[in-house]
Structure 1
Amino acid sequence: MNFRIIIYSTILIVCSACQHATKKPSSLKTNSAEVTKLAVISINDVYRINGIDNGDTGGLARVRELRKKIEEKYQHVLFLHAGDFLHPSFISKQDDGRAMITSLNMMDGALGEFDDNMVVTWGNHEFDKGRMEHVPLMNELLSQAEFNWLDSNITWKKDALEAENNLKQLLFPVGDKTVGLFSFTTDIVHPDYIESFTDYETTAKAYVPQLRAAGADFVIALTHHWLQDDRALMNLPAKYRPDIIFGGHEHYAQIEQVNNNWILKADADAASAVVAEITLDSSTTSVTPQIISLDHSFPKDTATAQLTQVLEDENDVAYCRQLNQTDDCLERKLGHTKVKLMAEETEIRRFETNLGNALADLSLQAFAQCDADIALLNSGSIRLNQNLPAHSDITVKHLEEMFPYSSDLRLIEFDRQLLPQIINHSISSWTANGHWLQIAGMAYIHDPETTTASHIHLKNERCGDEPTKTTIRAVVPYYLISDHTDHDGYSMINESMQVSCDANGAEVKRLLTEYLNQQATGLAVTRDFRICNTSRDQCD
């Protein structure tokens, strides 16, 4: 995999102070030298309106500030969101995505005005509210959105979503040139109100020629699916191939070229943003891409910061009042950590971490009376996306943000031969994907260079010896076996494997809360190399 960070001083001045621009790009001063230049800003997988690390990283106020800076430099600016924003988060658990829509409406600096230059596509988490009973809610959110939605590969059920704002394709003028856009959304979640999803190849074969026939000089694909599918899209015959892909889904900044065309993705929660300068003229087209870090050193737009803080504060107070608790109930201390707890997604979705070990160990211990052998927790269910510093408090809000979904556990039993299949799926597409497993009761060696898992054995077995058990009892989140989910790709396990146990239904959040209450001196959890990674560990 070709991960590269490219820094070009010509594309963006990120350190200098700038005037606050409130007008839309169409109202900015014309610079004739740049009439064939387009700047594209893209973010993806943004769940927290105020960012992470107590607001020191990411957040939509920094995204708005970035857009202002870009709009001061370029006459033509497109702002893209590659999906996953309505859910899941602590705030969306309370308001069903309304605060996110309001915050995104502010990305042009003005509420109440439609933003013609902002385009989003649907991510799989847009469909967390996926039953027909949720259609009125989805229509409400669509009606509140002041930006364009692309749904190129989605066929909606008749009389379901009112999709007036949804577009199959979009043409965007850039001086005397035209840029075309189409989208692709993964089908890993299939809500009741969608008839079907078209696959990426069929979608590209339909829209790329259509857009070019309509006059597009440059075609953008806005996608929400795995990187390997983006690569496959860029490996289609040239006449069906977009000129660039702005994508999402993995939560991990990526910048890669396939057939001389860029695939670009940013970090989740706007910890970074993609910026690409696209130069269009009659003879050549060039693209200058960049990943911009939106950390504590990057300024926030004041108006957007005020808005998102008000929305978050109102949500927190409403949550506490629903429970008949004081308005600051989310700040209540549950425990303390002596060590840095690793929960940031590029870590917990790719490596063994001390927090992952603690959660998996607690899950396994809860099912000890039912002879559980191992615990397997998909890291996508652990959604804090920030590390907690050593010697810091762990609050109610930390746990609410960590587990926005139900975290109930079930005991299953399966043939030992399935275990390598499970672990091989865990290490597949190793780009901070949510199906990566945090484990307990077993160990293995992961070689990311060869994409292999070896020396897979249970904790009470000696590595290399003949396995002592032909069947395995595993504690797993119900999501991984439910008849109503895609199992996070673990198609080899299902509900029929469930074993009766009094502990079935135990919640990881409750287990952690109880454990914190028992640790008077604070957590001191560690890694023990149960997943030995050959790229950073000494693996024997």
Structure 2
Amino acid sequence: MTGRNKGSVAAALGLTALLASGAAQAESLTFVHVNDFDRFDGQDDTGGFARYATVLKRARAEHENVIATNGGDMISPSLLSGLDKGAHMVDLNNKVGLDIAAIGNHEFDFGPDVAEQRFDEADYTVLGTNVLKSGQPFPHTTSYLLREFGTFTVGFFGLTTPETVDLASPGPDVTFADPVATAEKAAADLRAEGADIVVALTHMTIAEDRKVIALDGVDILLGGHDGELMTLYNDDGLLFKSDDQAALVGVLTFDVEVEEEDGEREITLHPGWDVVPTRGIEGDAETQALVAEYGSHLDRELGVAIGTTAVELDSRRGTIRGREAAFGNLIADATREAVGAQIAIINGGGIRADTTYPAGTTLTRRDILSELPFGNKTVLLEVSGATVLAALENGFSLVESGGGRFPQVSGMDVVYDPSQPPGERVVSVTVDGEDLDEDETYTLATNDFMLAGGDGYDAFADSNVLINGLAGRLMASQVIEYIEKVGTVSTGVEGRIQTVDD
């Protein structure tokens, strides 16, 4: 692959053939890449900052021209992020010497103001080429970056999936320009500014990434968002995504052949890559000390007991996104009571710990913040029965694929038919024993993410907002207070959500 003309035969032949032909020794360029890395301490002897720092230090010792890259989703969701809104992740990335980061959708979990603050705190470059605020580049981000290495220049741009509007809380003033059109212009601009090699750092779906790497002028794409290891290499270039939480770290080294003739330059890249598992790696001591400090702080804050449960609480993904769940009932009840609403609807995808709590378990702050890591706030709306019905139809529309929009409810009983087409699945809804009246007005508790249309809940857009996200309180805090008040959680699965076959 070449910096200007993709599909070079030299790429297929590799460095050995290059040297055998008598060409000059190639220079090199190495990327150490992670993505979807938001937990500072790792899990099960895998991942975390101390082990990541070890891999990064080794790469810097063994290679020249090393660039540490991050494909986004670093400040949320995690336990500690629920308390400090991701400030510790920026601090840790600063300490290990991250060079460049894409913007992930989770960077907007706490709203645009927090994202702006985190980007301002970063010592690394935050690339947000298609991320705009009021039509201008998002504050404290960079659209294009040029870096010189030896005799060649590398240009970088960054892309964030437009789905961030639904997946997080970027606010009405933040927009995400079309990734393909943005990438096409970025590659041309960077070439015009002298880039020999163009790198896209992205946080998008693999389908979006494939369109970008196929563009003429884009040589390398380092991505995120899918949370799975992927390597695609063909005439279009090299596309790489790592696993999440630094469980697997990508170390990608390109031998760079620079040829000049009659004033013309041609760059040929000879790629090679290692996927480094961090399981069992001894963590860097200096970084581990900082990780331990954050761990101690988290333990002190979250280890406080708040009550017990008399019933099993199940927050596993398949449960919370597919049927009525006792844990979903707990959260919906707590938020409904907190704002005095008649009914409540929350999205199952906002419940994240993917675990079970047997009857008799002592519940702690840590448990609740593990389940509700996004920092969402409870809002109170006046809605018509027709809006409630539309919201429920949206909630059941992706039940086959385990969509995060699946509703957990309070104050109502719902029967739906999953065999019917999306939008026609709700069979009946009762509120306080009475059939839902589409012309009646109800007070409804939900969260600010859903109010903004998150998970497809556009039905709430025209509601009369009684308590908005600015005035609302954290859902997690309300659930903690609810458990402290009742002492023992006793509400299990009650038949609030049933299918026609139940």
Name the CA distance, whole Å, in 2 between partners of 1:498 and 1:349. Answer: 27
Separation in structure 2 between the aligned mates of residue 342 and residue 50 of structure 1, nearest angstrom: 25
Pair 1:513–1:144, CA change in 2 (3 A): closer
Aligned CA distance change for structure 1 residues 102 and 190 (closer, same or farther; 3 Å)? closer
- Answering whether residue 35 of structure 2 is matched by residue 43 of structure 1, we say yes
Decide which of 348, 354, 362 is 2:333's aligned counterpart. 362
1:115-139 per-position Cα deviation (integer Å, ceiling 9, x unaligned): 6xx10133345453535xx79x83x
AA in 2 matched with 1:123: G
Name the residue aligned to 2:355. Answer: 387
Taking the aligned partners of 1:339 and 1:239, their CA distance within structure 2 comes to 58
Listed as ranges, the matches of 1:211-360 within 5 Å are: 211-214=190-193, 216=195, 218-234=197-213, 238-239=215-216, 241=218, 243-248=220-225, 252-253=227-228, 255=230, 257=232, 264-266=240-242, 270=245, 272-275=247-250, 277-280=252-255, 285-286=270-271, 288=273, 290=275, 297-314=280-297, 328=300, 330-336=302-308, 343=315, 354=325, 356-359=327-330
How far apart, CA to CA, are the structure 2 residues paired with 1:300 and 1:125? 26
Shift of 1:493: 2.5
TM-superposed CA distance for 1:371, in Å, is 6.5
User: Which one of the candidate residues 119, 124, 142 is aligned to 2:100?
Assistant: 119
- Structure 1: how far apart are the matches of 2:453 and 2:423? 26
CA contact (8 A) 2:53 2:287 kept: yes
| Alpha-carbon separation, structure 2, partners of 1:531 and 1:218 | 56
CA RMSD of aligned residues (A): 5.2
1:103 aligned to 2:92? yes
Question: How far, CA to CA, are the matches of 2:485 and 2:84 in structure 1?
Answer: 30
Report the CA distance between 1:425 and its aligned residue.
Answer: 6.0
Contact 1:481 1:494 in 2 (8 A): no
Which of 145, 148, 156 is 2:122 aligned to?
145
Q: Is the 8 A contact 2:90 2:121 kept in 1?
A: yes
Distance apart, 1:480 and its partner CA: 4.7
In the TM superposition, what whole-angstrom CA distance separates every residue of 1:334-370 from its partner, at most 9, and x where no partner exists?
A: 24568986557x7678655856544466369859x97
1:477 aligns with 2:468: no
Q: Are residues 1:83 and 2:72 paired?
A: yes
Identity %: 19
TM-score (norm 1): 0.62
> What is the 5 A alignment of 1:406-485?
406-408=376-378, 410=380, 412-415=383-386, 418=390, 422-423=394-395, 426=398, 435-440=404-409, 441-442=413-414, 456-457=425-426, 475=444, 477-480=446-449, 482=451, 485=452
Map of 2:48 onto structure 1? 59
> 1:455–1:168: structure 2 CA closer, same or farther, 3 Å change rule?
closer
Query: Aligned with 1:104: secondary structure?
Result: helix
**Which structure carries more strand by proportion?**
2
Which of structures 1 and 2 has the bigger CA Rg? 2
SS of corresponding position for 1:152: coil
Correspondence for 2:368: 399
The Cα shift of 1:253 comes to: 2.5
- 2:482 equivalent among 514, 527, 535: 514
Pairwise CA distance, 1:395: 0.9
For the residue of structure 2 that corresponds to 1:244, the secondary structure is: strand
Letter in 1 for 2:185: A
Q: 1:33 to 1:125 in 2, by over 3 A?
A: same
2: CA distance, partners of 1:57 / 1:531: 40
**Structure 1 runs not aligned, ≥5 long:** 1-31, 109-114, 317-327, 462-466, 533-538
Residue 9 of structure 1: aligned partner: none
Whole-Å separation in 2 of the counterparts to 1:130 and 1:376: 25
Per the TM alignment, residue 167 of structure 1 is displaced from its structure 2 partner at its CA by 3.0
Residues 449-484 of structure 1 deviation map (CA, whole Å, 9 limit, x = unaligned): xx97598345779xxxxx9976797955231554xx
**Counterpart AA for 1:396:** R
Match of 2:384, SS state, is strand
Partner amino acid, structure 2, of 1:101: V
Corresponding residue for residue 25 of structure 1:
none
* Deviation per residue, 1:192-218 (Å, 9 max, x gap): 9x7865331331121112334455454
CA offset digits 1:395-431 (Å, max 9, x no partner): 1233244435244254643437735751366569x6x
**Is 1:444–1:454's contact at 8 Å kept on the other side of the alignment?**
no
Quick check: 1:230–1:245 contact (8 Å CA) kept in 2? Answer: no
C-alpha contact 2:147 2:153 (8 A) present in aligned 1? yes
| Residue type of the alignment partner of 1:100 | M
- Structure 2 residue ranges without an equivalent (≥5): 1-23, 258-267
Contact between 1:425 and 1:490, CA under 8 Å: does it hold in 2?
A: no
Q: 3-state SS of the aligned residue for 1:180?
A: strand
**CA displacement at 1:307 relative to structure 2:** 0.7
Inter-partner Cα distance in structure 2 for 1:85 and 1:427: 28
Q: Structure 1: how far apart are the matches of 2:251 and 2:52?
A: 15
Offset of residue 394 of structure 1: 2.2
Task: Give the TM-score normalised by the residue count of structure 2.
Answer: 0.66
CA contact (8 A) 1:331 1:397 kept: yes
Q: Tell me: CA distance 1:76–1:418, structure 2 relative to 1, closer, same or farther (3 Å).
A: same
Q: Following the alignment from structure 1 to structure 2, what is the Cα–Cα distance between the partners of residues 341 and 361? A: 14
Q: Which amino acid aligns with 1:122?
A: I
1:130 alignment counterpart: 112
Distance in 2, matches of 1:44 and 1:506, equals 27
For residues 494 and 219 of structure 2, the distance between their equivalents in structure 1, rounded to whole angstroms, comes to 43
CA distance in 1, matches of 2:494, 2:197: 48
Count of residue pairs brought into register by the alignment? 445
Could you say what secondary structure the match of 1:239 adopts? coil
